[in-house]
Amino acid sequence: MFLYYGGYYGGYGMRFDSSYLIYLLIALIVPMLAQGYLSSTFNQYLRVRASSGLTGADVARRILDRNGLQHVHLTEVGGRLSDHYDPSRKTVRLSRDIYHGTSIAALAVAAHECGHAIQHANAYAPLQFRSAMFPVVNFANKFGYLAILLGFIFGGSSFLLLGIILVGVTVLFQIVTLPVEFNASTRAVAQLSEMNILYGNEEKAGARKVLTAAALTYVAGAVVAIAELLRLIMIFNSRNND
């Protein structure tokens, strides 16, 4: 959820703000490019069958068992690109295309989610920190923009500052997510290589491309969130200087 304010805020009349234009371009273009690259890369390698003939479910189960995670469950979930690891239930959930698929994309995504399960088992610090942030982030998501809105309505700097701090918490969460995702992808490629699930440089390169494309969507989200936070800080400073 984004609140964009292009003029002045607080009742001194409207004026053009070039920072709004810059932010709007970032908010629109960066995610669009990242999502477009993910879609094209994923669809490309979804059509390329891996030589092993294994399904995503086969690969996930093998990786989990190899790392002593026989207790981690593996299930199919609805939706597209809805794959995830649920640490609370110790379950890897794979979408239909990934669970039943034998493509390079399917194996790469399945291995990536197992990478998160391995992180959880190994108490990977960034993942633990990210998990600990969940309650605070949920609160920040619910009340951050409400505080900002109240700050604009009533002209109170305290509400606006509180809102900015809460938005800052959500930005920190997105930044912490980056090493978690990149590390899971690194683990995925390592597992696929060590277990000889992918053959030859072409298949390995394809898996890396899919995982890199997915990671870039998180980078894009973080960039937009940082730009939004900076814009809110500029608004706050502008109000205090007027």
Q: Give the global pTM.
A: 0.87
For residue 36, is it within any domain?
yes
Would residue 126 count as lying in a domain? yes
Q: Is residue 67 part of a domain?
A: yes
For residue range 70-82, list pLDDT tens digits in order. Answer: 999 999 999 999 9
Residue by residue, DSSP assigns the chain as ------S--SSS-----HHHHHHHHHHHHHHHHHHHHHHHHHHHHHSSB-TT---HHHHHHHHHHHTT-TTSEEEEESSSS--EEETTTTEEEEEHHHHS--BHHHHHHHHHHHHHHHHHHTT-HHHHHHHHHHHHHHHHHHHHHHHHHHHHHHT-HHHHHHHHHHHHHHHHHHHHHHHHHHHHHHHHHHHHHHTT-S-HHHHHHHHHHHHHHHHHHHHHHHHHHHHHHHHHHHHHHHHHH-
Question: Would you say residue 234 lies in a domain?
Answer: yes
Q: For residue range 9-52, what is the model confidence (pLDDT) as tens digits?
A: 333 334 456 777 888 888 899 999 999 999 999 999 999 999 99
Query: What domain range includes position 72?
Result: 18-241
> What is the chain's mean pLDDT, rounded?
91
12 in any annotated domain: no
Tell me, yes or no, whether 10 lies in a domain. no
**Predicted confidence (pLDDT) per residue in 97-129, tens digit:** 999 999 999 999 999 999 999 999 999 999 999
Question: Is 113 an annotated catalytic residue?
Answer: yes
Q: What pLDDT was estimated at residue 238?
A: 81
Tell me which of 113, 181, 203, 228 is the catalytic residue: 113
Total structural domains in the chain? Answer: 1
Question: Within a domain: residue 4?
Answer: no
Q: How far apart are CA 24 and CA 118, in angstroms?
A: 38
Q: Is residue 149 part of a domain?
A: yes
